[in-house]
Chain A
Amino acid sequence: MSDATQDGPVLAADGTPLKRSLARALRMQKLRALALIAPLLLFVLLTFIAPIADMLFRSVENQIVSATMPATVRELSDWDGTTGNPPGEEVFKALYFDLFLAAEAKEHTKLGTRLNYEKTGVSSLFRSSGRKLDDLGKDYQKAFKKIDKQLDEGEFWYTMMTGSGPASDALVTARKARFGDMTDESTKADIGFAPSQAITDLLPLTALAYTDFAVFTAIADGDTVAEEDPWEAVYVALAEDLATADVAAYTGPGADVLQAAQAGLDTIPVTSYTAFFEDIDKDWLDPEVWETVKMYSPKYTNGYFLNAVDLQKSPDGIEPRPENQQIYMKLFKRTMFMSLVITGSCILLGYPVAWILANLPMRTANLLMILVLLPFWTSLLVRTSAWKVMLQQQGVINDVLVWLGLVADDARLVMINNQFGTIVAMTHILLPFMILPLYSVMQTIPPTYLRAAKSLGATNWTAFWRVYFPQSVPGIGAGSILVFILSIGYYITPEIVGGTTGTFISNRIAYHISSSLNWGLAAALGTILLGVVLLLYYVYDKIVGIDNVKLG
């Protein structure tokens, strides 16, 4: 009392301001509490938040194109696809060197698979081209060998490219980074090679190709650069460089060999890159292939999302997919619709059951509760298969109906492999998720409310509808949210009993995850599904109020 009347801040017994004292005490408490939940928090972050974040990221991530073919993508930016002509020689030149390194690192097929999602045939285009890339360099190599045998020796190449004078570390760093981008490998290790600045200036493309070779040899293969023979691509680069290089002025190691090589350049069968690729596969000259590459060259793409809503990118902007490929919007709508129907039938079936449970004596209620929970104790597959046995045309229900004479033997009802079968089986599986929250909410509603309502003049129905039902709504809300969210993500049951009309969007997601490996599309579909759930949750909160949801 006396503390409160004095001027200035209230002091604790030791003279520190009471506020600070309190804050310190609370902080200690908070820290201790935080330390206690830290493992849990970490667990949730790692197992729950991280995968979702990863999924969101995958649905837009598209670094593979620019990481595998950086130079090609750069050159391609000037190309105008609307002319209907394939890109120029520069693009094919960049493609050759990009693809060569990618093929050595076995990355070109990954890129092919990725682009095949957008343009059919790219997969085999990349795979078969990867095998034939060596052919171009082989002829050059032979010709150079004829000019000087040393040009076929790894050691000589190493000496020549190392050169003398200051080294061009920048080139090594740049090529390491490019290799690291493509393979996700760590490129910290020293590769034991750096081209001299002089040779880099003299033979820029060769230095680049040789550095790529050196980076790959040292990092991916773990070999010594000096002991390995250079790739065919290096000879292609050398021929390219020698055509214009001023070798006469060069004095570094191997200058004489280079001069000889330049002199003998006319013995080398020069082929254009374009012609080379055309020879491998005519599709390389197809502007549509290049259009696809260009369209998907940015590091992030909305392509997966567009695909997930039956749209596609085209040179003229975003347009709907051809009608015979539109499926996802239909499946989204169907998933929503069927989930609502399943939720509705769960309410219809679960409400009376929960009501009976809540109004029975404890002992009987517990016994019945075991029956409700029984489905949880049997395997999902067994339950679903049991429905197959029940509902199929030669199944139990049809047999009984035929036996009773209600259905003709040749007109047995189709109750499975369609929406009906899916709804029945999923309602059965998800029913406990409706009953449990309903039951626990109903248990808290005292029977006196009904009596009070009746004593006030309400009929049984009015008493139920105006008094009991509104109080059980939180249970319906909780049950519905559970059932709805569970059912829109379900895929095993629809897969087994859904036939063609009862499958959900999740079945497509599962397909893209495990069969087509199009994880980007699967992630986009999953993200949209997540968004829809959150949106519905928001709408539910606005209309019903989320504090009106009670699990017990």
Chain B
Amino acid sequence: MKLKTLTALVATTAICAPMAFAADMADEMTIVSWGGAYSKSQLKAYHEPYMEKTGVKIINDESSAEAVAKLRAMNEAGNVTWDVVDVVASDALRLCDEGLAMEIDPDEHLAAAPDGTSAEDDFGDMLVGDCFIPQIVYSTTFGYRTDLVGDTPPDDICDVFDLEAYPGKRSLEKRAINNMEWALLCDGVAKEDVYDVLGTEEGQEKALAKLDTIKDSVIWWSAGADTPQLLADGEVVMGSTYNGRLFSVIEEQNQPVAMLWDAQVFDLDGWIIPTGLSPERQARALDYIMFATDTQRLADQAKYISYGPARASSAPLVGQHAELGIDMAPHMPTDPNNAKNTFLYNYEFWADYRDDIEAKFQAWLAK
């Protein structure tokens, strides 16, 4: 393993890779992403410059929500039509475990930072799994209606569980992940113990019991657009969703909504390359990823959407929103002011416990 990495490193520094391989790369590729504002930000920041630079035709597919199942089906059918797929880290881990995503060595296939820091160091902890190249850090956090919460707006995650101080409906995602952690946190479990507790039967009971206290006041969402809509309609006083969605409710639609960053859960979104591609397509996909995840490109994406770049070296380059002209840095989940109390999605834990806890959670929901 280590030896291979070393030789590869030598190879990349020695040869100007894109030039040498250009003749052997496919000139058309299908990139799968989430659609909406997110795809638009990728189009502006990555696709357009890449197409301009190489002349490659990029076809957009908006199937990321079903990417795992579709990739598995494609793989079984022996006909993988996607070249690069944008997935969340937990899905990337699944795909990697299932052998549906190829392993990518960051130092071999990714560009180093402008100051020479290797890609592996520049991405640091964000590199989870062997197949996943992170792009952005997003967070799942709460937004609340400023006009419906009285004089003391919520500033603590546990305010979500406080029906007396903040009566009204809340929206939570219809799944166990994140909700269980928040419930334990507000049930007095220390942050560093959350996953140890959640790994036990009693801990799971405990979390569900805490959620039980607000169950009747919860509207459960399954699409990211639900909470922004529920907040805008005044159906809920607070609700969890992705921070970028809340940004657009607050800054673009000017709704009376504010962010509750406390105990936001960081998650990563990024690229994988499916296994089973022809060598030409694989070379093209790798070339695209090297381009799209370099320091400048990641910083560029933040002009269009309020998600933090996954590279440390990109953070200082984050500028202003392309249309609104406001500074994006304060809206990044990674901004120090917002990131006082954060969680990082525990991929290992959830890979093991997801089926089990999810089954219990759904049984609890159906009760």
Contacts and interface: CB of A to CB of B under 8 A. Distances in A.
**A–B contact via C-beta, under 8 angstroms:** yes
Interface in B334-358: 348, 351-356, 358
Contact of A517 (B72, B205, B219, B348): B72
A517 B366 contact: no
A435 to B, nearest CB: 30
A225 to B, nearest CB: 19
Nearest to B94: A517
A350 B354 CA distance: 44
Nearest to B103: A106
Interface stretch (A193-201, A320-328, A451-459, A471-479): A320-328
A47 B65 CA distance: 24
B359 A327 contact: yes
Contact of B366 (A112, A113, A123, A500): A500
A110 B94 CA distance: 9
Given A514-B66, A517-B94, A324 B205 contact: yes
Contact of B233 (A107, A394, A508): A394
A392 B233 contact: yes
A268 B90 CA distance: 41
A516 B220 contact: no
A30 to B, nearest CB: 35
B69 interface: yes
B352 A123 contact: yes
A192 B131 CA distance: 32
Nearest to A330: B366
Contact of A394 (B97, B234, B355): B234
B320 to A, nearest CB: 34
Nearest to A105: B99
Given A109-B97, A495-B222, A326 B235 contact: no
Given A113-B97, A514-B69, A517-B94, A123 B351 contact: yes
Given A113-B94, A499-B219, A327 B351 contact: no
A63 interface: no
Interface stretch (A114-122, A154-162, A272-280, A482-490): A114-122
Interface size class for chain A? 35 or more
Contact of A124 (B99, B348, B366): B348
A514 B169 CA distance: 29
A109 B96 contact: yes
Contacts of B222: 495-496
B69 A109 contact: no
B117 interface: no
Interface string A41-55: 000000000000000
B362 interface: yes
Contacts of A513: 69
Nearest to B349: A124
Given A392-B233, A417-B220, A325 B363 contact: yes
Contact of B363 (A120, A324, A495, A503): A324
A513 B97 CA distance: 16
Contacts of A519: 72
Nearest to B208: A324
Contact of B352 (A116, A330, A514): A116
A123 B69 contact: no
B220 A514 contact: no
Interface string B90-109: 00001011110000000000
Interface string B192-210: 0000000000000100100
Given A120-B352, A120-B353, A518-B355, A417 B219 contact: yes
A331 interface: yes
Contacts of B220: 417, 499-500
A113 B356 CA distance: 12
Contacts of A395: 233
Contact of B360 (A324, A495, A500): A324
Contacts of B174: 500
Contacts of B355: 116-117, 120, 516, 518
A515 B72 CA distance: 12
Contacts of B366: 327, 330-331, 334, 500-501, 503
B68 interface: yes
Given A109-B99, A110-B98, A394-B233, A327 B362 contact: yes
Interface in B235-273: 235
Contacts of B235: 392-394
Contacts of A508: 362
A495 B356 CA distance: 21
A127 interface: yes
B364 interface: yes
B365 interface: yes
Nearest to B359: A325
Given A124-B348, A394-B233, A514-B68, A106 B99 contact: yes
Contacts of A503: 366
A112 B363 contact: no
A416 B355 CA distance: 28
Nearest to A500: B365
A324 B203 CA distance: 13
A110 B97 contact: yes
A516 B234 CA distance: 33
B77 to A, nearest CB: 11
B90 to A, nearest CB: 10
A454 to B, nearest CB: 52
A151 B353 CA distance: 44
Given A327-B366, A394-B234, A517-B94, 19 more contacts: A110-B98, A117-B355, A120-B352, A122-B352, A127-B97, A127-B351, A327-B363, A330-B363, A393-B235, A394-B235, A395-B233, A496-B223, A511-B362, A513-B69, A514-B68, A516-B354, A517-B68, A517-B72, A519-B72
Interface of A: 106-107, 109-110, 112-113, 116-117, 120-124, 127, 324-327, 330-331, 334, 392-395, 417, 495-496, 499-501, 503, 508, 511, 513-519
11 contacts: A110-B98, A113-B98, A120-B353, A120-B355, A124-B348, A324-B364, A327-B362, A330-B366, A392-B235, A393-B169, A517-B98
